[in-house]
Amino acid sequence: MADPIILKDICKTYATPGESVHAVKDISLTVPEGSFVAIMGRSGCGKSTLLQILGTLLAPTSGSYLLRGQEVSGMKEKQVSALRRREIGFVFQQYRLLSEYSVWENICMPLCLDRAKPDTDYLRDLARSCGILDKLGSYPDQLSGGQQQRVAIVRAMAAKPGILLADEPTGNLDHATGQEVMNALAVCRHRFRQTIVMVTHDPETASYADFLWRMEDGRLLASGSHAEDPSSTALSDSAEIPSSTPEEVI
């Protein structure tokens, strides 16, 4: 099967009045099936822009993006959104739950929008793995931040996407709660084998990933202990949490 994500020479320039911002510069990468990649880098270096491109939420200015072997550039928006809904789940720093709907309704929302029938056993199983099974009847404002983020993870996985993209999933949480969320993500991943790309500022959060890639000024840097070219980084089969810290990996 094709690698789920292959970027070739991707650039993104934001044209703003008076100046152009080159947020992503010439990035080529491959994310192999089942891998968990963390991306770190200074504020403004282009991480969220790259993640939005991976999520097909943002079109690159140039370059090629093969998502599950299909070239996204040039696809009609309707096709892109169908591919996105089928293949990708998102977790953001802000949980983006709908306050007027219950946890269960929030989780089922993407499926309802797609007129798909919720797989109740799967969703309850997932909710149990994330420790929110007893909260399905609650409303978002009755939950802690960590619980809301775990609801967002279950929602992101509701349509059984093969790819999960997370932008600073622990960014709004204290250390212990952030760990709870990452443990929930790790448990889900071990059970359901998603390919995950996560942006984070926190080295401990990044340590849950198999591999760490660094961005600097719109470019993706090779991670030190791996090959020079991030696209050729060989990922381990093991889904075990690496014992080394990201700084050691680098």
Ligand X SMILES: Nc1ncnc2c1ncn2[C@@H]1O[C@H](COP(=O)(O)OP(=O)(O)OP(=O)(O)O)[C@@H](O)[C@H]1O
Q: Shortest distance, CB of residue 22 to Mg ion, whole angstroms?
A: 16
C-beta closer to ligand X: residue 48 or 207:
48
Cα 219 to its chain centre, rounded Å, is 19
Rounded least distance, CB 138 to ligand X, Å: 30
The item of ligand X, Mg ion, none sharing an interface with residue 16, based on CB under 5 to 8 Å by kind, is ligand X
Least Å from the CB of residue 229 to ligand X? 21
Q: Does 223 bind Mg ion (CB under 5 A)?
A: no
Contact partner, 106, from ligand X, Mg ion, none, Cβ < 5-8 Å per class: none
Task: Work out what residue 49 binds among ligand X, Mg ion, none; the CB cut-off runs from 5 to 8 Å by kind.
Answer: ligand X
Nearer to Mg ion, 23 or 80 (CB): 23
Q: How far apart are CA 208 and CA 42, in angstroms?
A: 19
State the minimum distance, in angstroms, from the CB of residue 16 to ligand X. Answer: 5
- Where along the sequence are the contacts to ligand X (CB under 6 A)? 14, 16, 21, 23, 41, 43-49
Considering beta carbons, is residue 41 or 161 the nearer one to Mg ion? Answer: 41
- The one of ligand X, Mg ion, none whose footprint includes residue 21, by CB under 5 to 8 A per kind, is ligand X
Closer of 44 and 69 to ligand X (Cβ): 44
CA nearest neighbour of 56 among 79, 85, 23, 80: 80
Burial 14-29, CB ≥16 within 10 A → b, else e: eeeeeeeeebbbebbb
User: What is the maximum span of the chain, computed from C-alpha positions, in angstroms?
Assistant: 54
Residue 43: both structure tokens together: 């504020």
Q: How many CA atoms lie within 13 A of 103 on its CB side?
A: 26
CB-based contact 170:205 (threshold 8 Å): yes
Binders in 34-93 for Mg ion, by CB under 5 A: 48
CB within 8 Å of 166: residues ≥ 6 apart: 90, 91, 92, 185, 196, 197, 198, 199
170 binds Mg ion (CB under 5 A): no
Where on the chain is the footprint of Mg ion (CB under 5 A)?
48
